[in-house]
Amino acid sequence: MRQPEDELADLKAQSLYRELRTLDSAQGPEVEIDGRRYLNSSSNDYLGLANDPELKAAFIAGVEKYGTGSGASRLVCGTQRPHADLEEGLAALKGTEAALTFSSGYVTAVGTLTALCGKDDILILDKLCHASLIDGARLSGATIRVFPHLDLNKLESHLRWAREKFSSESRVIVVTESVFSMDGDRAPLADMVALKEQYGAWLLVDEAHAFGVIGPGGRGLINELGLSEQVELQMGTLSKAAGLSGGYLCASRAVIELLINRARGFIYSTAPPPSVAAAGVTALEIVAGERGNALREKLWGNLSLLGTELGAQDVLPESNQAESAILPIILGESDAALAAAASLKEQGFVIPAIRYPTVPRGQARLRVTLTAAHSEDQVRQLAGALGSVVVKNSSMS
Ligand SMILES: *Cc1c(COP(=O)(O)O)cnc(C)c1O
């Protein structure tokens, strides 16, 4: 039998070994690891809400009123008022009839795809879709087709094929992210909507990295493009810009009722703590309100400053315009990315080396993220450090 030690040695030999690092502080632009302070440019806490006083107060008030545990799964007796309020708030924000929350974005993806699709259905995914979407698609038993990243021609040929080959009863669902988690680029959602309508398919858009960051009130890219009424399945998470934890799906009332009846990750798992949902209601108010606007302005200002500073050092093309809060610096081989991350850590910066299988082989990278909580000075320090480790004019995405 294969020994786990051998497998681990293999991973190490390929520079694909991963390990946990423990932070001794809250999330924020600076974190503490083993007694040393680091400038943190690795989290998805885009608005800096994960340690925000207003949100913390809402969380604590939720604990005081509703306790710590939810006691049971939502269908048994675990649905408490904050869960219902949060779902109402999400549906209102996204402009859909209804919403359902799950314990994480991962569970949302798996629960939704397995509940809606089975062996007679077809799922068509962008090649760079997040692991949770891939896992949900596989577990559903549906026929899966993948198109190269953002390739609308190939998407159309899959749609045509699905409609010719399968019965009109079959569900055909196109699956994409609005902002891609490891590349930070945006999907051409308007074109994708036109295609799925032409072929009578549905569209699932995962807004994990767009929610809170893009669009009026941070509602996401779907909303910014005016497509709220045309995207059947609007997914996202409160674990990133909303500074909390938990996934959501916004859709028609019928779809949400079907998920309540069929999504196993919803049915067979204890409800998230009501205090998290209570804080979620406040997070939505912050994200969509005046504070959210100010935080987004700060975040986009930081992104633009980083672009300018990196352009000046020839780390990026001068014309580079941020499409999201995620900036990938592609270095190629895993060992190159690991060495760059180690050198940055030495200089006091936490920036993760992202490797296979999170990204394709040969596309290992530093994944730099900024938040509204970073100061301009910190952004300049970060740019300087990146310039010092990145080979000038190496292949940037
Ligand atoms: C992070 C992420 C998820 C999972 O969300 P969690 O709440 O962290 O489980 C799903 N999809 C994408 C694109 C993500 O980046």
Active site includes 94?
A: no
**Is the Cβ atom of 239 under 6 angstroms away from ligand 1?**
yes
Q: Which of 125, 214, 239, 324 to mutate to test the pocket of ligand 1 (most atoms within 8 A of CB)?
A: 239
Q: Is 381 a pocket residue for ligand 1 (Cβ < 6 Å)?
A: no
394 pLDDT band, cuts 50/70/90, is low
| pLDDT above 60: residue 37 | yes
pLDDT tens-digit readout, 178-235: 999 999 999 999 999 999 999 999 999 999 999 999 999 999 999 999 999 999 999 9
Range from 214-223, 263-272, 312-321, 336-345 carrying the lowest mean pLDDT: 312-321
Nearest atom of ligand 1 to the alpha carbon of 245: 7
**For position 397, what pLDDT does the model report?**
44
Cβ-Cβ contacts under 8 Å for 316 (sequence gap 6 or more): 307, 310, 396
User: In angstroms, rounded to a whole number, what is the distance separating the alpha carbons of residues 220 and 228?
Assistant: 10
Q: Taking the model in full, what pTM does it have?
A: 0.96
| Top-confidence residue, 208 or 313 | 208
Kindly list the strands in the beta sheet with 30-33, ordered across the sheet, starting from the edge strand earlier in the chain.
30-33, 36-40, 349-350
Confirm whether 374 is a catalytic residue: no
Nearest ligand 1 atom to alpha carbon 132: 10
| Burial of residue 13 (number of CB atoms within 10 Å: 0-12, 13-18, 19+) | exposed
Q: Are strands 364-369 and 122-126 parallel, antiparallel or unpaired?
A: unpaired
Is 1.10.10.10 the CATH number for 13-42+290-389? no
Contact 266, 236 (CB under 8 A): no
| Residue with CA at minimum distance from ligand 1 atom 6 | 105
pLDDT digits 0-9 by tens, 249-293: 999 999 999 999 999 999 999 999 999 999 999 999 999 999 999
Query: Ramachandran region of residue 47, left (φ > 0), alpha (ψ -120 to 50) or beta?
Result: alpha
β-pair partners for 39: 30, 349
Tell me the three state secondary structure of residue 328.
strand
Q: Which pair of structure tokens corresponds to residue 244?
A: 């909390």
Name which residue sits closest to atom 10 of ligand 1, judged by CA.
Answer: 105
CATH of 67-288 among 3.40.50.450, 3.40.640.10, 3.90.180.10, 3.20.20.100 = 3.40.640.10
What pLDDT was estimated at residue 335?
94
**Cis amide bond preceding 357, omega within 30:** yes
Question: Distance between alpha carbon 195 and the CA centroid of its chain, in Å?
Answer: 24
Where in the chain are the domains?
A: 13-42+290-389, 67-288
Q: What are phi and psi of 42, to 5 degrees?
A: -135, -5
Beta-carbon contacts of 86 under 8 Å, excluding residues fewer than 6 positions away, are 101, 277, 278, 280, 281, 284
Angle at the Cα of 211 from the Cα atoms of 270 and 253, rounded to 5 degrees = 55
CA distance 15 to 203: 37
Known active-site residue 240: yes
Q: Please tell me which residue in 209, 239, 245, 298 is annotated as part of the active site.
A: 209
Please write the tens of the pLDDT for every residue from 139-159: 999 999 999 999 999 999 999
Instruction: Identify the active-site residue in 140, 181, 245, 275.
Output: 181
- What's the 209 CA to ligand 1 centre distance in angstroms? 8
Distance CA 207, CA 209 (A): 6
User: Which residue out of 240, 298, 334, 374 is catalytically annotated?
Assistant: 240
Q: Is 234:94 a contact under the CB 8 Å cutoff?
A: yes
